[in-house]
Structure 1
Amino acid sequence: MLRKNRRVRWAAGAAAGLVLAGGGVPLAGRPAEAAPAPPVPHVPPPITWTACGDDGNARCGTLTLPVDRDEPDGATFGLAVARRPALDPGARIGTLVFGPGGPGDSGVHQILEGDRFSDALRRHFDIVSFDPRGVGGSAPITCARDLVRAQPSPVMADQDDFDATVAHNERLRADCAERTGPIYGNADTLSTVRDLDALREALGESRLTFHGSSYGTLLGEQYAETYPHRVRAMVLESVVDHSRRGAGAFLTSQAAAAQDSFDEFVEWCDRTDACALHGRDVRAVWQGLLDRARRGDLPGMSEVSLVEEAYSAFYGPRWAELARTLAALDAGDPPPATSTPRTAEPTAGPSDEATVQDPFLGVFCSDWSLPVRDHRHWSRLMRRVERVAPDMTYTRPVRAAAGCIGAPRPVANPQHRLDVRGLRTPILLSNARHDPASGHNWATNVARQLGREGVLLTYEGAGHGSYNRSDCMRRTIDRYLIDLDVPARGTTCPPVPAGSAA
């Protein structure tokens, strides 16, 4: 916001000068003042590509960019980039840039894995992604491991708990800023929009073909808002609605999505013999486990960690696994082993085990203004969340909002209603009907904001992410990206069989 204010002050001064020049008579003999020179645009050096990845078919490089685009001669950082060339050079259309989610996901890792997109897209496009500023190989936000692990619980009993949260958040921000350097104060998504446009230019593309997933959809939305004339095609998969102003609107909209996913899980158990809780009152079992966790009678698991256990499972969705876990906990047994990680641990540095890469709050708290005054205010917010989501009160969005309490204001990239005009091709939004993190309520609201500039494609199933849910979803999105064939408004794809989603 400080960078934006500098531009506003300069523009206001220039406008005032124009008014005075047009309405008055210059003083005799006084030379006219020269207009201030516009900032010299930053022209990054070209990317030097080298072979990378286990199969040797990927190419990696670094794009040198300014930390603050309003200060092109100031500090710089290296944006880590990876690419897989089109499988058929003769059929190549251009470059498809993937915007990773999180915040904190590595786009370079997605490219090295190489299986995010269909062969049809890989035939026609170079597939490129990057680690956003503050993430992975791009000046990663680095913090003391002990401080990251000591984040207080969002379950706050009184003002003392609230004050302890504020104090911890302040210590963590100061520590991360000192260890990370200037990128920490410039990690907002609007700054990454500028990086994305510089990447487009470095790739030699006159217009951007983009597929953003989850938090990467915010990057796409704001790119389209900033550079609509430079968009060739854009897919927003699992849509983030950045118009939800204030902590209450943000938390209740996220709570509604999480509760909807819990309700889908209960319905699946009720109708599916393979569910370990089939034939039982699933909600009663769940509430009993929550009560035990609150009392400390569920070994190794708090109320927050229990809710996040279910919330993580809804991403898959891994309903059968979750049912087995809950049945075991209810019987007093240890939960069954699983090959799927339950929580996302911050990434340890290669040589310093006292620190971790932890970009989430550094980015998130720069993009969302979620002020909370005191414990009384927080308690009112959580009562609203509990009314909306009685089974899923303390999900990750609540923990994220608690992590931003006491953050400096104004934030760099506050919420606002999306305003995109002048696209040549509508943006394609893609969302599951029952997504726990990017709810269908978010997708429909963003589609309304886009109006004729957006079309929503719905997968009538559950889980976070939709492109790889079914052949119907892949084919529809591929046709749009390859041929600019926009599906009719209201198009849906049926869910895969329930057993496949379990």
Structure 2
Amino acid sequence: MHLPRRAVVVVLAAVLAVIATITVSTTVASADAPALTWGPCPDGPGAVGMECATLDVPVDPADPDGRTITLALGRLPATGTAEGSVLVNFGGPGAPGIPMLRDQAAESFAALRARMDVVTWDTRGYGGLFGGRSTGLDCDFRSLARPTPPFPADQAAFDAITEANRAVAQACRDTDPVLFDHMDSASHAHDMEAIRRALGQERLTFYGASYGGMFAQAYARLFPDRVRAMVLDGTANHSTADWDAEVDEQARDGEEVFDRFVAWCAAEPACALHGTDVRARWLAVVAAADREPLPVPGTDIRYTGRDLQGLLRFTFLAGPPEWPAMAAAVVTAEGGDGSGFVPERGNPYPVVSTVGLTECQEIPGYDDHRDMVGTVERVRAVGPALGVSMPIVAHVLTCAGWPAPLANPPAPLPDGLPPLLGLGTWTDFPGTERAVRQVPGSVAVRHDGPGHVLYRTGNACAIEVADRYLTDLELPEPGTTC
């Protein structure tokens, strides 16, 4: 998969001196930065004393004197003497930071608050989708969150998907073209820089969970001299000069997790596939479903092989507790019945809960049907067990025809950044590690278990490691596990 022949904007800031030996950054005056006025939050402080403020920022970072939009900010004040602020984003990419920090994740930051204010924001554009209070796009987001289409059989079918995508997205873009075109991680990174300046911090201290790590990588490319410390927790690697190679690496990552399932089944007599060639039986089920979708008796559900791979992929977030049922589902599927794969709740099909507003401006898609086929065939060879269910292979089809440019394509991190900290579960770690290892001295910490992100979900070891780094810039030893 190569970069589409769309307009590409690449902005890489020059690298200045790196300060790697400072302690917590002190608050400094900034004559051209607006002051923040903290006060009551519209939805209240919660049990943790959340305070709120607003900040106006340019809708187009390249036009700093033009139209502005408003960001809603939230702060958990330090419980001790504040030595600085850490800015937090929970991913999504449009997850509203204020309610998530106040109502879900505050406990994880309790120890850090002894020394630092914890600040977050509701990301631009997503107000109408996730309930954030920053300026949002006024459109029907449900129309954008459409199912992943089947891989088209030819160029005509590819063109039909492209036209359908464009029509749906264009209706949203028409409500606010400038904001729609500035929803990529680089635009969010400019918002982060505006928040840093408004906080009066000389350099940015940042924690990014999941897609928040993409924001971190964009910020590091744009403002390398302004980075003090960054924690990337369970993120993808968007910092590469060879996107095809990264896609292949992600397919291999899936194979490693599938091998855990195979090893579990070999060691567990209760596994319905125990004592057999698990991989061969699974691949046979997938191939059969790709030839003829697997029915679920009594319903209109029909699963393709890619659907089955996506459903199995989701079980790896839960880990071994889900595997007995999945092994039994494979056996049932061999008899022509897909009922064992139907989730207990929600949509019966694999769902990528994204509307593409950010992703379609920075994840390289397909130029045409031939480009797609080449990628699909390559990924199937590299990662046959789960590969083509990856969002960057399958769900990127929903970006074909997107009416906004690929504004923030993948690019390596610049030289001169201070060491970063990565955190990851067995599904998160490989991509996170590939991102942070580009920066000399960085460390990635692995949790040998399932799940997604570590710090905000309460992993005590990860919290201790990250807090030490965020406050005193002390990184753990390479190879540390949690």
How much has 1:276 moved relative to structure 2? 5.9
Q: Aligned residue for 1:96?
A: 86
Query: Which SS does the other structure have where 1:451 is aligned?
Result: coil
C-alpha contact 2:181 2:405 (8 A) present in aligned 1: no
Q: Aligned residue for 1:373?
A: 367
Deviations 1:270-318 (A, max 9, x none): 324565655554335533543454323332242233222222222x333
How much has 1:68 moved relative to structure 2? 1.0
Tell me which moved more, 236-245 or 326-335.
326-335
Aligned mate of 1:487, from 453, 476, 479: 476
Pair 58,6 (structure 1): closer, same or farther in 2 beyond 3 Å: closer
Which structure dedicates a bigger proportion of its chain to helix? 1
How much has 1:162 moved relative to structure 2? 0.9
Q: 1:107-118, aligned counterparts within 5 Å?
A: 107-115=97-105, 117-118=108-109
Q: Aligned residue for 2:452?
A: 464
C-alpha contact 2:329 2:341 (8 A) present in aligned 1: yes
Q: Aligned residue for 1:126?
A: 117
Aligned mate of 1:50, from 40, 43, 50: 40
Q: Aligned residue for 2:203?
A: 207
For residues 276 and 340 of structure 1, the distance between their equivalents in structure 2, rounded to whole angstroms, comes to 26
Q: Aligned residue for 2:322?
A: 321
For residues 297 and 2 of structure 1, the distance between their equivalents in structure 2, rounded to whole angstroms, comes to 41
Task: Write the letter of the residue equivalent to 1:101.
Answer: G
Aligned residues: 438
Query: Which SS does the other structure have where 1:493 is aligned?
Result: coil
Structure 2 regions of 5+ residues with no counterpart?
A: 1-5, 14-30
Does 1:173 find its partner at 2:169? yes
For residues 471 and 268 of structure 1, the distance between their equivalents in structure 2, rounded to whole angstroms, comes to 26
How much has 1:344 moved relative to structure 2? 5.8
Q: 1:376-415, aligned counterparts within 5 Å?
A: 376-392=370-386, 393-407=388-402, 411-415=406-410
Query: Which SS does the other structure have where 1:168 is aligned?
Result: helix
For residues 248 and 11 of structure 2, the distance between their equivalents in structure 1, rounded to whole angstroms, comes to 34
Does 1:191 find its partner at 2:187? yes
How much has 1:111 moved relative to structure 2? 0.7
Deviations 1:349-393 (A, max 9, x none): xxxxxxxxx6x41211212333x3322221111000101111112
Pair 143,259 (structure 1): closer, same or farther in 2 beyond 3 Å: farther
Q: Aligned residue for 1:84?
A: 76
TM-score (norm 1): 0.76
For residues 146 and 461 of structure 1, the distance between their equivalents in structure 2, rounded to whole angstroms, comes to 34
For residues 148 and 326 of structure 1, the distance between their equivalents in structure 2, rounded to whole angstroms, comes to 34
For residues 250 and 337 of structure 1, the distance between their equivalents in structure 2, rounded to whole angstroms, comes to 30
> Sequence identity of aligned pairs in percent?
30
C-alpha contact 1:325 1:336 (8 A) present in aligned 2: no
Structure 1 regions of 5+ residues with no counterpart?
A: 9-40, 347-357, 495-502
Q: Aligned residue for 1:253?
A: 249
Task: Write the letter of the residue equivalent to 1:399.
Answer: A
Task: Write the letter of the residue equivalent to 1:59.
Answer: E
For residues 346 and 472 of structure 2, the distance between their equivalents in structure 1, rounded to whole angstroms, comes to 37
Deviations 1:28-54 (A, max 9, x none): xxxxxxxxxxxxx97446344314255
Aligned mate of 2:215, from 199, 207, 219: 219
C-alpha contact 1:460 1:493 (8 A) present in aligned 2: yes
Deviations 1:443-475 (A, max 9, x none): 4433442124x2333334444323357543332
For residues 415 and 57 of structure 1, the distance between their equivalents in structure 2, rounded to whole angstroms, comes to 39
How much has 1:152 moved relative to structure 2? 5.4
Does 1:237 find its partner at 2:226? no
Aligned mate of 2:413, from 403, 418, 426: 418
C-alpha contact 1:457 1:492 (8 A) present in aligned 2: yes
Does 1:427 find its partner at 2:420? yes
How much has 1:237 moved relative to structure 2? 1.6
C-alpha contact 2:311 2:341 (8 A) present in aligned 1: no
For residues 12 and 221 of structure 2, the distance between their equivalents in structure 1, rounded to whole angstroms, comes to 18
Task: Write the letter of the residue equivalent to 2:318.
Answer: P
For residues 137 and 237 of structure 2, the distance between their equivalents in structure 1, rounded to whole angstroms, comes to 25
Pair 107,293 (structure 1): closer, same or farther in 2 beyond 3 Å: farther
How much has 1:417 moved relative to structure 2? 1.4
For residues 302 and 247 of structure 1, the distance between their equivalents in structure 2, rounded to whole angstroms, comes to 29
C-alpha contact 2:265 2:271 (8 A) present in aligned 1: yes
Report which structure shows greater RCO (CA 8 Å, sep ≥6): 2
Query: Which SS does the other structure have where 1:179 is aligned?
Result: coil
Deviations 1:195-244 (A, max 9, x none): 11111222333332211122211222232333334333221122432234
TM-score (norm 2): 0.79
Q: 1:300-339, aligned counterparts within 5 Å?
A: 300-303=301-304, 304-314=306-316, 316-325=317-326, 327-328=328-329, 330-331=331-332, 332=337, 333=339, 338=344
Query: Which SS does the other structure have where 1:211 is aligned?
Result: strand
Q: Aligned residue for 1:62?
A: 54
For residues 255 and 222 of structure 1, the distance between their equivalents in structure 2, rounded to whole angstroms, comes to 23
For residues 153 and 132 of structure 1, the distance between their equivalents in structure 2, rounded to whole angstroms, comes to 28
For residues 343 and 400 of structure 2, the distance between their equivalents in structure 1, rounded to whole angstroms, comes to 36
Deviations 1:388-418 (A, max 9, x none): 1111122222233222324468621122111
Q: Aligned residue for 2:440?
A: 451
How much has 1:249 moved relative to structure 2? 3.1
Task: Write the letter of the residue equivalent to 2:205.
Answer: T
For residues 389 and 368 of structure 1, the distance between their equivalents in structure 2, rounded to whole angstroms, comes to 20
How much has 1:267 moved relative to structure 2? 1.8
Whose radius of gyration is greater, 1 or 2?
1
For residues 113 and 380 of structure 1, the distance between their equivalents in structure 2, rounded to whole angstroms, comes to 45
Query: Which SS does the other structure have where 2:52 is aligned?
Result: strand
Pair 390,221 (structure 1): closer, same or farther in 2 beyond 3 Å: same
RMSD, aligned α-carbons: 3.4
Pair 179,162 (structure 1): closer, same or farther in 2 beyond 3 Å: same
Query: Which SS does the other structure have where 2:53 is aligned?
Result: strand
C-alpha contact 1:102 1:214 (8 A) present in aligned 2: yes
Q: Aligned residue for 2:16?
A: none
C-alpha contact 1:266 1:282 (8 A) present in aligned 2: yes
Query: Which SS does the other structure have where 2:295 is aligned?
Result: coil
C-alpha contact 1:79 1:130 (8 A) present in aligned 2: yes
Task: Write the letter of the residue equivalent to 1:381.
Answer: T
